[in-house]
């Protein structure tokens, strides 16, 4: 028994203890090597790194940090001397509570962004910086570009409003005086002179309509058009619009039918947008239909309020259907095109509907006619008659 105990003691004293001691020494060497490597990494880091104590004194900087200091750090020098922004911050609290914060500071001709971190376990704080001068310059350029863009949009809106005023005002005068002149001449007018007045009236309407389209489209694209949803009676609105076109429908000898299958439902949408879209669709249906009929139907489908405008007109080619809602596009381009217009009506309609949480779809076949369908996410009541 004594021999066993003696051997155990000898083994422990001269084998286990030395091995444990060696293991601890190796762990310490590894830790020191790791610390040296980390220190070397920080020293070679191109970004400035600072370490400070609870009083705010600098206790360590890397090469990049030294270059930012007026003089090399000396005992007692405060981090505030480099970063005045830290004067209003409780650095001791930052360290003890492990806080992290961001500051931006101008040093010389450069701008730096610093991250301040508290390390409560070591009772120190560290600051990591990065040069954001280039980024700041880009940001300032972007802000300047945005400002110029906003000024440009304001100028566009002002220009359009002024243009509208300068054109509409004399046009109202011309239309009024031409109507007064036509009435005052009465039966004296010859058939040719009546035709002149008709052309003058149509030209005035076309110019006013063109100005309305340009201004409305500009407002939509620049975000200057605001919609105000209210409960409207689609049946009443459509019937009112159709009355405006009774004369031209009769002149073209077209059959026009409006059928309301919605049980007089009310629709919550922007009234101005709704009327403008319907005017465009009805106007197009009449313009592109030489003979036959136009049928407008309001109905419900899958709990959505829908309005279709179908005609037996010239139809649309399959190729052009892909870009029919593109601004200023027309199937036949050029001054010799057979139909007047500027290609804005359908593009404006689609954008106005989007503002009202609605969509537009089209089905068409060349030579057989077209059907445009408006689909509203219905919010209204029935029996709104």
Residues 11 and 86 in one domain: no
User: What is the C-alpha separation between 344 and 187, in angstroms, rounded?
Assistant: 40
Give the pTM.
Answer: 0.53
Q: Is residue 382 part of a domain?
A: no
Query: How are the residues of the chain apportioned to helix, strand and coil, as percentages rounded to the nearest 5?
Result: 50, 20, 25
Residues 38 and 76 in one domain: no
Q: Is residue 108 part of a domain?
A: yes
Residues 79 and 125 in one domain: yes
Identify the three-state secondary structure at position 54.
coil
pLDDT exceeds 70 at position 162:
no
DSSP code, position 69: S
In DSSP terms, 376 is beta-bridged to: 305, 358
Q: Is residue 54 part of a domain?
A: yes
User: What is the C-alpha separation between 326 and 307, in angstroms, rounded?
Assistant: 22
Assigned token pair, 273:
């947008």
| 274 against 27, higher pLDDT | 274
Residues 283 and 344 in one domain: yes
Residues 6 and 119 in one domain: no
Q: Which residues contact 244 (CB under 8 A, 6 or more apart)?
A: none
- Helix (H) / strand (E) element for 375: namely strand 369-376
Q: Is residue 204 part of a domain?
A: no
Query: Judging by beta carbons within 10 Å of its beta carbon (0-12, 13-18, 19+), is residue 221 exposed, middle or buried?
Result: middle
User: What is the C-alpha separation between 113 and 47, in angstroms, rounded?
Assistant: 10
Residues 235 and 114 in one domain: no
Q: Is residue 243 part of a domain?
A: yes
Assigned token pair, 57:
């004194």
Q: Write out pLDDT tens, residues 26-39.
A: 666 655 554 454 45
Residues 288 and 312 in one domain: yes
Q: How many CB atoms lie within 10 A of CB 288?
A: 19
| Residue numbers of the domain that contains 98 | 46-131
Residue-level pLDDT at 296? 95
Residues 315 and 239 in one domain: yes
43: left (phi over 0), alpha (psi -120 to 50) or beta: alpha
Mark which of 104, 131, 158 sits at the end of a domain.
Answer: 131
Q: What is the CATH number of the domain that holds 69?
A: 3.30.450.20
Mark which of 108, 131, 154 sits at the end of a domain.
Answer: 131
Residues 316 and 265 in one domain: yes
Q: Write out pLDDT tens, residues 119-133.
A: 888 888 888 888 888
Mark which of 80, 113, 131 sits at the end of a domain.
Answer: 131
Supply φ then ψ for residue 364, to 5 degrees.
-155, 155
Assigned token pair, 349:
């309609």
Q: What is the CATH number of the domain that holds 292?
A: 3.30.565.10
Q: Is residue 214 part of a domain?
A: no
- Model confidence at 84, pLDDT cuts 50, 70, 90, reads confident
Query: What percentage of the chain has pLDDT greater than the value 90?
Result: 20
Q: Which of 12-26, 35-49, 114-128, 298-312 has the lowest mean pLDDT?
A: 35-49
User: What is the C-alpha separation between 200 and 195, in angstroms, rounded?
Assistant: 9
Domain count of the fold of the chain? 3
Q: Is residue 215 part of a domain?
A: no
- Model confidence at 277, pLDDT cuts 50, 70, 90, reads very high
Q: Write out pLDDT tens, residues 54-72.
A: 888 888 888 887 777 765 5
Residues 32 and 63 in one domain: no
Q: Is residue 319 part of a domain?
A: yes
Residues 8 and 90 in one domain: no
Residues 298 and 337 in one domain: yes
pLDDT exceeds 60 at position 337:
no
Going by C-alpha positions, the residue among 273, 169, 165 that lies closest to residue 217 is: 273
pLDDT exceeds 60 at position 197:
yes
Going by C-alpha positions, the residue among 309, 289, 296, 304 that lies closest to residue 368 is: 289
Residue-level pLDDT at 271? 92
pLDDT exceeds 90 at position 189:
no
Q: Which residues contact 53 (CB under 8 A, 6 or more apart)?
A: 59, 123, 124, 125
């Amino acid at each position: 028994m004594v021999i066993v105990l003696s051997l155990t003691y000898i083994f422990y004293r001269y084998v286990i203890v030395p091995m444990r001691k060696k293991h601890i020494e190796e762990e310490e060497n590894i830790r020191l090597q790791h610390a040296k490597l980390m220190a070397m990494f920080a020293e070679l880091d191109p970004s400035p790194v600072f370490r400070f104590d609870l009083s705010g004194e600098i206790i360590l900087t890397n090469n990049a940090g030294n270059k930012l200091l007026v003089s090399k750090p000396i005992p007692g020098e405060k981090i505030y001397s480099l970063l005045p922004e830290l004067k209003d911050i409780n650095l001791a609290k930052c360290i003890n509570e492990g806080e992290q914060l961001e500051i931006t500071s101008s040093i010389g001709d450069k701008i730096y962004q610093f991250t301040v971190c508290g390390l409560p376990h070591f009772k120190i704080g560290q600051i990591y910086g990065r040069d954001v001068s280039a980024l700041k310059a880009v940001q300032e350029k972007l802000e300047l570009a945005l400002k110029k863009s906003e000024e440009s949009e304001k100028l566009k809106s002002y220009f359009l409003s002024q243009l509208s005023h300068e054109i509409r005002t004399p046009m109202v005068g011309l239309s009024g005086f031409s109507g007064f002149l036509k009435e005052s001449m009465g039966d004296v007018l010859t058939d040719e002179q009546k035709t002149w007045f008709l052309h003058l009236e149509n030209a005035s309407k076309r110019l006013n309509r063109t100005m309305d389209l340009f201004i409305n489209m500009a407002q939509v694209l620049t975000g200057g058009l605001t919609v105000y949803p209210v409960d409207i009676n689609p049946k009443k609105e459509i019937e009112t619009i159709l009355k405006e076109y009774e004369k031209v429908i009769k002149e073209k000898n077209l059959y026009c039918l409006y059928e309301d299958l919605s049980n007089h439902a009310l629709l919550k949408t922007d009234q101005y947008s709704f009327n403008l879209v319907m005017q465009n669709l009805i106007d197009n249906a009449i313009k592109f239909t030489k003979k036959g009929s136009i049928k407008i139907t309001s109905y419900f489908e899958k709990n959505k309020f829908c309005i279709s405008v179908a005609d037996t007109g010239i139809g649309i080619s399959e190729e052009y259907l892909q870009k029919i809602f593109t601004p200023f596009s027309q199937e036949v381009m050029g001054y010799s095109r057979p139909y007047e217009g500027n290609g804005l009506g359908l593009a404006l309609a689609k954008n106005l509907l989007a503002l009202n949480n609605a969509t537009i779809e089209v089905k068409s076949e060349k030579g057989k006619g077209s059907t445009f369908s408006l689909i509203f996410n219905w919010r209204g009541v029935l029996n709104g008659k």
